[in-house]
Structure 1
Amino acid sequence: MPARIRFAQIAAVAHVTLSYPKRFNAMSRAMWRDLRAVFERIQGMTELRCVLVSGEGGHFCAGGDISEYPGFRFQEPSLRTFHEDEVWGALNAMLGCDVPLVAQIEGNCMGAGVEIASCCDIRLATESARFGAPIARLGFPMAPREAALVAREVGLGTARQMLLEAAVFSAPDMLQRGFLSRIVPDADVGTLARASVQRISQLAPQAARLNKQTLRALMHDQLPMLLTTAYDYADGIEHREGIAAFLEKRAPTF
């Protein structure tokens, strides 16, 4: 099967699947470009309430498609284009997405997989999942924007071990280090990931989008920029419904 990013929509939930099973879903250049296009599309889909990001065939993502590397990595302009335009373009589209993102992580989550997972809001992993970025064995560093993203999400100490020791961590390790939201049995990951998506989807969607905007502003020290519009939701339908439902002792309808 060709390397691709699969997109499907079921009601108010988008399913984004990294699909290159013969290489454990390693990211090709075309997949990076497709991932960007998918998330730019998702950002404009106002009906969506949650996105589930997963890999095909029992793995999340084993890193980059190394078979492509000799064709562009040895020239500075093409290497820069790859990291700054293709990879960061996709990751930045994920980071800029206001819809909540849930990662369903199985098997290998290496390099590019850690970067993609780092863009997600909730991260569920199987007990057998493995995490790392052992690119030092390939003779090159992690690109600066990607390293900053990973270090922020996994922690600076863990990033140092991944990049300097080529250390690989278990799911319990990454839960303890604060990267994972939850570890689940391998056989139950799909069911429990969908349950998480369903819980999010039942809550107020505009509130979720506003929360993501606020959290993004906090990460970039841009909170003052939000203050002029921070309370524009005052007369909003969701706001009125949520409070009315609480006072009337009923479930809200969002």
Structure 2
Amino acid sequence: MSGLVRVVREGAMAFVTLSHPGRLNAMSRAMWLALRAAFEALSAEEALRCIVVRGEGGAFCAGGDISEYPSFRFEERSLRAFHEDEVWAGLQAMLDCPVPIVAQIEGACMGAGIEIASCCDIRLAAGSAKFGAPIAKLGFPMAPREAELVQRAIGDVLARDMLLAAGVHGAQRLYDAGFLLQVLPDDAVAAAVLAHAARIVALAPAAARLNKATFLALNRCAASDLVPTAYRYADSPEHREGIDAFLAKRPAVF
């Protein structure tokens, strides 16, 4: 079995579960392709308001499926195709997703796992979760775009330690670095993620998508470049409802 990326819809929420039994949900090549397909499909769903990404069986993702590596890693063209056409394509589909993404991180979050988590908007973790990218022990570096993604998300100091010294860190250290929103008891993280996702679902969906578009654009250009189109939502029903409800002292209905 080469692993699965399972998608389940529940109302305005979707759950994307990484599943690779016996391998701590390590990402196989098939899983990278499935991750891309899942997020491209979810991105097209207008009614969707929040996506939760999680791993199966008490682990988030332990990295890549090393058992597959000898078949492609030792030739430059196939290695490049793997990272650029499979891994990065899956990560880019997550980054391009207009729907807020919440990560539920438990157990191992290593290598590919920390890359996937870095693509999520909000990350909550169990206290026992472990984070790292100890691929220096395997004799190869992180691909450039993947390294940039992780460095931006976790910060330069931790990124360098993970890649140069194979450092593995606990959830509290990642919280202190600003990577995690919350660190929770192991038996409380799933409920906390669900509550946070429900909170997002109850808020203005178009505003969330516009905020995500802004964040994505800011990674590519300066804020001033966004000004010409930034205020086109002025006459939108959602904008009017939010302000009207506040002034009327009633809950907004989005």
TM-score calculated relative to the size of structure 2: 0.98
Aligned to 1:15: 15
Instruction: Please state if 1:75 is matched with 2:109.
Output: no
Deviation of the 1:200 alpha carbon: 0.5
State the alpha-carbon separation in 2 of the partners of residues 122 and 33 from structure 1. 23
Instruction: Please state if 1:132 is matched with 2:158.
Output: no
Aligned to 2:33: 33
Deviation of the 1:218 alpha carbon: 1.3
Q: Which segments of 5 or more consecutive residues in structure 1 lack a partner in the other structure?
A: none
Deviation of the 1:227 alpha carbon: 2.4
- Residues 106-157 of structure 1: CA deviation (Å, up to 9, x unaligned): 0000000000000001000000000000000000000000000000001011
Instruction: Supply the AA of the counterpart residue of 1:102.
Output: V
Aligned to 1:97: 97
CA contact (8 A) 2:2 2:30 kept: no
CA contact (8 A) 2:125 2:183 kept: yes
SS in 1 for 2:124: strand
SS in 1 for 2:234: helix
Q: Which segments of 5 or more consecutive residues in structure 2 lack a partner in the other structure?
A: none
Instruction: Please state if 1:179 is matched with 2:179.
Output: yes
Aligned to 1:47: 47
Aligned to 2:58: 58
Deviation of the 1:178 alpha carbon: 1.0
Deviation of the 1:217 alpha carbon: 1.3
Deviation of the 1:225 alpha carbon: 4.2
Aligned to 1:210: 210
- Residues 211-235 of structure 1: CA deviation (Å, up to 9, x unaligned): 0111111122253443222111111
State the alpha-carbon separation in 1 of the partners of residues 225 and 40 from structure 2. 23
Equivalent pairs, count:
254
Deviation of the 1:100 alpha carbon: 0.3
Deviates more, 1:52-61 or 1:216-225: 216-225
Aligned to 2:6: 6
Give runs of ≥4 in structure 1 deviating > 6 Å. Answer: none
SS in 2 for 1:217: helix
- Residues 17-55 of structure 1: CA deviation (Å, up to 9, x unaligned): 000021000000000000001111111111000000000
State the alpha-carbon separation in 1 of the partners of residues 2 and 166 from structure 2. 29
Aligned to 1:242: 242
State the alpha-carbon separation in 2 of the partners of residues 200 and 72 from structure 1. 41
Instruction: Supply the AA of the counterpart residue of 1:165.
Output: A
State the alpha-carbon separation in 2 of the partners of residues 87 and 223 from structure 1. 29
Instruction: Please state if 1:168 is matched with 2:172.
Output: no
SS in 2 for 1:78: helix
CA contact (8 A) 2:63 2:110 kept: yes
SS in 1 for 2:188: helix
- Residues 41-75 of structure 1: CA deviation (Å, up to 9, x unaligned): 11111100000000000000000000000000001
TM-score calculated relative to the size of structure 1: 0.98
Deviates more, 1:83-92 or 1:214-223: 214-223
Aligned to 1:188: 188
State the alpha-carbon separation in 1 of the partners of residues 180 and 17 from structure 2. 19
State the alpha-carbon separation in 2 of the partners of residues 222 and 14 from structure 1. 32
State the alpha-carbon separation in 1 of the partners of residues 215 and 105 from structure 2. 23
Deviation of the 1:189 alpha carbon: 1.0
